[in-house]
Chains A and B, each alone.
Chain A
Amino acid sequence: MSTQAYEASLNKDNIIFAFTGAITYNMLSTLSAAVKEDLQKEESSKAYYNVYAVLVEQFQNIMNYSSKRKTISTKDVGIGTCLIKQVPQTNALVVCSGNEIETKQIDRVIAKLEKINSLNAVEIKAYYKEVRKSGVDSHDTGAGLGFLEMAKKSSAQLKYTITPIDEKISYFELDVAIKE
Protein backbone atom coordinates (compact mmCIF):
# COMPACT_ATOMS: atom_id res chain seq x y z
CA MET A 1 0.00 0.00 0.00
CA SER A 2 1.31 3.46 -0.88
CA THR A 3 1.42 6.13 1.82
CA GLN A 4 -1.19 8.08 -0.13
CA ALA A 5 -3.53 5.08 -0.21
CA TYR A 6 -2.88 4.49 3.50
CA GLU A 7 -3.69 8.12 4.33
CA ALA A 8 -6.85 7.96 2.20
CA SER A 9 -7.98 4.79 3.98
CA LEU A 10 -7.50 6.42 7.39
CA ASN A 11 -9.46 9.47 6.26
CA LYS A 12 -12.24 7.32 4.85
CA ASP A 13 -12.65 5.60 8.24
CA ASN A 14 -12.47 8.90 10.18
CA ILE A 15 -9.25 7.82 11.88
CA ILE A 16 -7.59 10.93 13.28
CA PHE A 17 -4.61 9.20 14.89
CA ALA A 18 -2.77 5.99 14.06
CA PHE A 19 0.38 4.43 15.43
CA THR A 20 1.84 0.96 14.98
CA GLY A 21 5.13 -0.19 16.40
CA ALA A 22 7.17 -0.60 19.56
CA ILE A 23 5.85 1.60 22.34
CA THR A 24 8.44 3.15 24.63
CA TYR A 25 7.69 5.47 27.51
CA ASN A 26 9.09 8.46 25.58
CA MET A 27 6.91 7.63 22.63
CA LEU A 28 3.71 7.15 24.58
CA SER A 29 4.09 10.26 26.71
CA THR A 30 5.03 12.48 23.76
CA LEU A 31 2.39 11.13 21.37
CA SER A 32 -0.38 11.30 23.99
CA ALA A 33 0.54 14.88 24.85
CA ALA A 34 0.53 15.80 21.15
CA VAL A 35 -2.94 14.29 20.71
CA LYS A 36 -4.14 16.17 23.77
CA GLU A 37 -2.84 19.48 22.45
CA ASP A 38 -4.43 18.81 19.08
CA LEU A 39 -7.86 17.87 20.51
CA GLN A 40 -7.81 20.74 23.00
CA LYS A 41 -8.59 23.11 20.13
CA GLU A 42 -11.77 21.33 19.09
CA GLU A 43 -13.20 19.25 21.91
CA SER A 44 -14.82 20.07 25.24
CA SER A 45 -12.41 20.00 28.17
CA LYS A 46 -13.79 16.74 29.52
CA ALA A 47 -13.65 14.96 26.14
CA TYR A 48 -10.05 15.84 25.31
CA TYR A 49 -8.91 15.02 28.83
CA ASN A 50 -10.67 11.64 28.73
CA VAL A 51 -9.26 10.78 25.30
CA TYR A 52 -5.80 11.66 26.60
CA ALA A 53 -6.21 9.64 29.80
CA VAL A 54 -7.52 6.59 27.89
CA LEU A 55 -4.81 6.80 25.21
CA VAL A 56 -2.12 6.80 27.92
CA GLU A 57 -3.60 3.67 29.53
CA GLN A 58 -4.01 1.91 26.14
CA PHE A 59 -0.37 2.65 25.23
CA GLN A 60 0.84 1.53 28.65
CA ASN A 61 -1.07 -1.74 28.36
CA ILE A 62 0.59 -2.45 25.00
CA MET A 63 4.02 -1.46 26.35
CA ASN A 64 3.65 -3.68 29.42
CA TYR A 65 1.51 -6.60 28.26
CA SER A 66 1.82 -7.15 24.50
CA SER A 67 3.36 -10.57 23.96
CA LYS A 68 5.16 -9.29 20.85
CA ARG A 69 8.18 -7.50 22.25
CA LYS A 70 11.37 -5.70 21.32
CA THR A 71 14.34 -4.28 23.16
CA ILE A 72 14.90 -0.57 22.58
CA SER A 73 17.94 0.99 24.29
CA THR A 74 17.98 -1.75 26.97
CA LYS A 75 14.24 -1.47 27.63
CA ASP A 76 11.90 -4.37 26.94
CA VAL A 77 8.76 -2.90 25.35
CA GLY A 78 5.61 -4.18 23.66
CA ILE A 79 4.59 -3.80 20.02
CA GLY A 80 1.04 -2.94 19.01
CA THR A 81 -1.35 -0.44 17.44
CA CYS A 82 -3.37 2.51 18.71
CA LEU A 83 -6.05 4.31 16.72
CA ILE A 84 -8.43 7.15 17.46
CA LYS A 85 -11.62 7.10 15.40
CA GLN A 86 -14.34 9.67 15.10
CA VAL A 87 -17.81 8.11 15.04
CA PRO A 88 -20.27 10.80 13.95
CA GLN A 89 -23.30 8.49 14.40
CA THR A 90 -22.76 8.20 18.16
CA ASN A 91 -20.95 11.52 18.53
CA ALA A 92 -18.01 9.72 20.08
CA LEU A 93 -14.26 9.41 19.79
CA VAL A 94 -13.12 5.81 20.08
CA VAL A 95 -9.63 5.05 21.37
CA CYS A 96 -8.63 1.62 20.06
CA SER A 97 -5.70 -0.61 20.89
CA GLY A 98 -4.55 -3.89 19.40
CA ASN A 99 -1.74 -6.22 20.36
CA GLU A 100 -0.75 -9.85 20.52
CA ILE A 101 -1.45 -11.74 23.70
CA GLU A 102 -0.54 -15.25 24.88
CA THR A 103 -3.63 -17.43 24.54
CA LYS A 104 -3.16 -18.70 28.11
CA GLN A 105 -3.67 -15.12 29.40
CA ILE A 106 -7.03 -14.70 27.66
CA ASP A 107 -9.31 -16.08 30.38
CA ARG A 108 -7.84 -13.73 32.97
CA VAL A 109 -8.26 -10.70 30.68
CA ILE A 110 -11.84 -11.62 29.71
CA ALA A 111 -12.79 -12.14 33.38
CA LYS A 112 -11.51 -8.66 34.24
CA LEU A 113 -13.33 -7.01 31.32
CA GLU A 114 -16.58 -8.91 31.88
CA LYS A 115 -16.57 -7.98 35.55
CA ILE A 116 -16.18 -4.29 34.62
CA ASN A 117 -18.84 -4.51 31.87
CA SER A 118 -21.33 -5.95 34.36
CA LEU A 119 -21.15 -2.77 36.45
CA ASN A 120 -22.86 0.62 36.07
CA ALA A 121 -20.95 3.91 36.38
CA VAL A 122 -21.46 4.20 40.14
CA GLU A 123 -20.37 0.60 40.69
CA ILE A 124 -17.31 1.08 38.45
CA LYS A 125 -16.20 4.00 40.59
CA ALA A 126 -16.68 1.99 43.79
CA TYR A 127 -14.83 -1.02 42.35
CA TYR A 128 -11.99 1.23 41.16
CA LYS A 129 -11.60 2.59 44.67
CA GLU A 130 -11.72 -0.91 46.12
CA VAL A 131 -8.97 -2.22 43.81
CA ARG A 132 -6.87 0.91 44.40
CA LYS A 133 -7.18 0.49 48.14
CA SER A 134 -6.47 -3.23 48.32
CA GLY A 135 -3.64 -3.18 45.77
CA VAL A 136 -4.69 -6.74 44.80
CA ASP A 137 -3.82 -6.15 41.17
CA SER A 138 -0.61 -4.21 41.81
CA HIS A 139 2.54 -5.51 40.15
CA ASP A 140 5.95 -4.32 38.94
CA THR A 141 4.70 -2.19 36.07
CA GLY A 142 1.53 -0.73 37.50
CA ALA A 143 -1.46 -0.81 39.77
CA GLY A 144 -3.60 -3.09 37.58
CA LEU A 145 -6.09 -0.24 37.32
CA GLY A 146 -5.78 0.42 33.58
CA PHE A 147 -9.05 -1.17 32.40
CA LEU A 148 -10.95 0.40 35.30
CA GLU A 149 -9.42 3.80 34.64
CA MET A 150 -10.61 3.55 31.02
CA ALA A 151 -14.07 2.32 32.06
CA LYS A 152 -14.42 5.37 34.33
CA LYS A 153 -13.67 7.69 31.41
CA SER A 154 -15.77 5.84 28.84
CA SER A 155 -19.35 6.52 27.83
CA ALA A 156 -19.96 2.87 26.84
CA GLN A 157 -18.90 -0.65 27.74
CA LEU A 158 -15.33 -1.76 27.04
CA LYS A 159 -15.61 -3.48 23.67
CA TYR A 160 -13.08 -6.24 23.12
CA THR A 161 -12.32 -8.80 20.44
CA ILE A 162 -9.94 -11.73 20.65
CA THR A 163 -8.84 -13.46 17.45
CA PRO A 164 -6.65 -16.59 17.56
CA ILE A 165 -3.45 -16.32 15.48
CA ASP A 166 -2.08 -19.77 16.29
CA GLU A 167 -2.18 -22.18 19.24
CA LYS A 168 -0.17 -19.95 21.53
CA ILE A 169 -0.90 -16.43 20.38
CA SER A 170 -4.08 -14.41 19.88
CA TYR A 171 -4.77 -10.83 18.84
CA PHE A 172 -6.48 -8.66 21.44
CA GLU A 173 -8.41 -5.50 20.50
CA LEU A 174 -9.98 -3.04 22.92
CA ASP A 175 -12.20 -0.10 21.89
CA VAL A 176 -13.00 2.60 24.41
CA ALA A 177 -15.64 5.14 23.39
CA ILE A 178 -15.66 8.70 24.72
CA LYS A 179 -18.54 11.14 24.14
CA GLU A 180 -17.53 14.35 22.38
Chain B
Amino acid sequence: MENLNIEQTKFTPSIVFDIQKCLLEIKGDSLPENTTEFYKPLMESLLQFLQTPQNNITVNLELTYFNSSSSKFLYDFFDLFVEKNNGTDVVINWFYDEEDENMEEAGEDFQEDFEDLKFNVLVK
Protein backbone atom coordinates (compact mmCIF):
# COMPACT_ATOMS: atom_id res chain seq x y z
CA MET B 1 0.00 0.00 0.00
CA GLU B 2 1.20 3.47 -0.84
CA ASN B 3 1.03 6.56 1.31
CA LEU B 4 -1.41 9.26 0.37
CA ASN B 5 -0.38 12.89 0.27
CA ILE B 6 -2.85 15.43 -1.11
CA GLU B 7 -1.99 19.09 -0.74
CA GLN B 8 -4.37 21.62 0.74
CA THR B 9 -6.04 24.17 -1.53
CA LYS B 10 -8.27 27.13 -0.66
CA PHE B 11 -11.37 24.92 -0.97
CA THR B 12 -10.12 21.39 -0.28
CA PRO B 13 -8.25 19.95 2.71
CA SER B 14 -4.85 18.34 2.84
CA ILE B 15 -4.97 14.57 3.24
CA VAL B 16 -1.98 12.69 4.60
CA PHE B 17 -2.19 8.94 5.08
CA ASP B 18 1.07 7.50 6.37
CA ILE B 19 0.68 3.74 6.30
CA GLN B 20 3.87 2.93 8.26
CA LYS B 21 3.02 5.37 11.03
CA CYS B 22 -0.66 4.32 10.97
CA LEU B 23 -1.54 8.00 10.87
CA LEU B 24 -4.24 9.73 8.85
CA GLU B 25 -4.68 13.51 8.86
CA ILE B 26 -7.22 15.78 7.16
CA LYS B 27 -6.85 19.55 7.51
CA GLY B 28 -8.56 22.60 6.08
CA ASP B 29 -11.83 23.60 4.37
CA SER B 30 -13.88 21.03 2.50
CA LEU B 31 -15.84 22.37 -0.46
CA PRO B 32 -14.78 20.07 -3.31
CA GLU B 33 -16.29 20.35 -6.78
CA ASN B 34 -17.20 16.67 -6.61
CA THR B 35 -17.02 15.33 -3.08
CA THR B 36 -17.19 11.63 -3.96
CA GLU B 37 -14.44 11.93 -6.57
CA PHE B 38 -12.23 14.05 -4.31
CA TYR B 39 -12.30 11.60 -1.40
CA LYS B 40 -12.27 8.44 -3.51
CA PRO B 41 -8.49 7.80 -3.20
CA LEU B 42 -8.75 8.17 0.58
CA MET B 43 -11.76 5.89 0.90
CA GLU B 44 -10.09 3.22 -1.27
CA SER B 45 -6.81 3.34 0.67
CA LEU B 46 -8.61 3.25 3.99
CA LEU B 47 -10.79 0.32 3.00
CA GLN B 48 -7.69 -1.63 1.98
CA PHE B 49 -5.92 -0.66 5.22
CA LEU B 50 -8.82 -1.73 7.43
CA GLN B 51 -9.25 -5.09 5.72
CA THR B 52 -5.81 -6.34 6.76
CA PRO B 53 -5.74 -6.66 10.55
CA GLN B 54 -3.50 -3.92 11.96
CA ASN B 55 -2.47 -2.80 15.37
CA ASN B 56 -3.88 0.66 15.38
CA ILE B 57 -4.67 3.83 13.47
CA THR B 58 -4.83 7.44 14.62
CA VAL B 59 -7.03 9.81 12.66
CA ASN B 60 -6.53 13.54 13.21
CA LEU B 61 -9.07 15.94 11.75
CA GLU B 62 -8.62 19.71 11.76
CA LEU B 63 -11.44 20.99 9.63
CA THR B 64 -12.43 24.65 9.49
CA TYR B 65 -15.47 24.37 7.20
CA PHE B 66 -17.29 21.63 5.32
CA ASN B 67 -20.31 21.80 3.01
CA SER B 68 -23.30 19.48 3.21
CA SER B 69 -21.97 16.86 0.79
CA SER B 70 -18.68 16.78 2.75
CA SER B 71 -20.77 16.27 5.88
CA LYS B 72 -22.22 13.13 4.31
CA PHE B 73 -18.72 12.03 3.26
CA LEU B 74 -17.46 12.45 6.85
CA TYR B 75 -20.29 10.29 8.15
CA ASP B 76 -19.49 7.55 5.63
CA PHE B 77 -15.77 7.89 6.40
CA PHE B 78 -16.28 7.37 10.16
CA ASP B 79 -18.72 4.57 9.41
CA LEU B 80 -15.96 2.62 7.60
CA PHE B 81 -14.11 2.29 10.93
CA VAL B 82 -17.18 0.58 12.35
CA GLU B 83 -18.49 -1.40 9.39
CA LYS B 84 -15.30 -2.48 7.60
CA ASN B 85 -12.94 -2.81 10.52
CA ASN B 86 -11.11 -6.12 10.79
CA GLY B 87 -9.62 -5.70 14.28
CA THR B 88 -7.85 -2.36 13.97
CA ASP B 89 -7.68 -0.23 17.11
CA VAL B 90 -8.95 3.22 16.07
CA VAL B 91 -8.55 6.62 17.72
CA ILE B 92 -10.23 9.61 16.08
CA ASN B 93 -9.24 13.10 17.20
CA TRP B 94 -11.48 15.95 16.04
CA PHE B 95 -9.59 19.20 16.65
CA TYR B 96 -11.27 22.59 16.62
CA ASP B 97 -10.16 26.15 17.22
CA GLU B 98 -11.19 27.32 20.69
CA GLU B 99 -13.44 30.05 19.26
CA ASP B 100 -14.96 27.91 16.51
CA GLU B 101 -18.36 26.87 17.90
CA ASN B 102 -19.42 25.46 14.54
CA MET B 103 -16.61 22.93 14.36
CA GLU B 104 -16.95 22.12 18.05
CA GLU B 105 -20.64 21.32 17.57
CA ALA B 106 -19.95 19.40 14.36
CA GLY B 107 -17.39 17.25 16.19
CA GLU B 108 -19.78 16.58 19.07
CA ASP B 109 -22.52 15.55 16.62
CA PHE B 110 -20.23 12.95 15.03
CA GLN B 111 -19.10 11.83 18.47
CA GLU B 112 -22.77 11.12 19.35
CA ASP B 113 -23.29 9.24 16.09
CA PHE B 114 -20.27 7.00 16.68
CA GLU B 115 -20.48 6.10 20.34
CA ASP B 116 -18.62 2.82 19.73
CA LEU B 117 -15.52 4.59 18.39
CA LYS B 118 -12.82 6.28 20.47
CA PHE B 119 -13.83 9.69 19.21
CA ASN B 120 -12.22 12.67 20.96
CA VAL B 121 -13.32 16.27 20.44
CA LEU B 122 -10.37 18.46 21.37
CA VAL B 123 -9.31 22.11 21.37
CA LYS B 124 -6.32 22.69 19.07
A interface residues (Cβ-Cβ under 8 A, vs B): 25, 29, 32-33, 45-46, 49, 52-53, 56-57, 60, 125, 129, 132-133, 135, 138, 141-143, 145-146, 148-149
Contact = CB atoms under 8 A, between A and B. Distances in A.
A32 B31 CA distance: 11
Given A29-B11, A33-B10, A49-B102, A56 B67 contact: yes
Given A29-B33, A56-B31, 6 more contacts: A49-B102, A132-B72, A133-B75, A138-B72, A143-B68, A145-B69
B101 A142 contact: no
Contact of B68 (A46, A52, A57, A135): A57
Interface residues of B, number: 20
B58 to A, nearest CB: 24
A5 to B, nearest CB: 35
B99 A45 contact: yes
Interface string B18-37: 00000000000001010100
A53 B70 CA distance: 12
B113 A142 contact: no
A149 B68 contact: yes
A19 B109 CA distance: 34
A57 B67 contact: yes
A57 B31 CA distance: 10
Nearest to B103: A49
B65 interface: yes
The 5 closest A-B pairs by CB, nearest first: A143-B72, A145-B68, A149-B68, A25-B33, A142-B69
A24 B121 CA distance: 35
Contacts of A29: 10-11, 31, 33
Contacts of B72: 132, 135, 138, 142-143, 145
Nearest to A29: B11
A52 B101 contact: no
Contacts of A57: 67-68
Interface in B17-60: 31, 33, 35
Contacts of A46: 101-102
Contacts of A33: 10-11
B14 interface: no
Contacts of B100: 45
Nearest to A32: B31
A129 B35 CA distance: 19
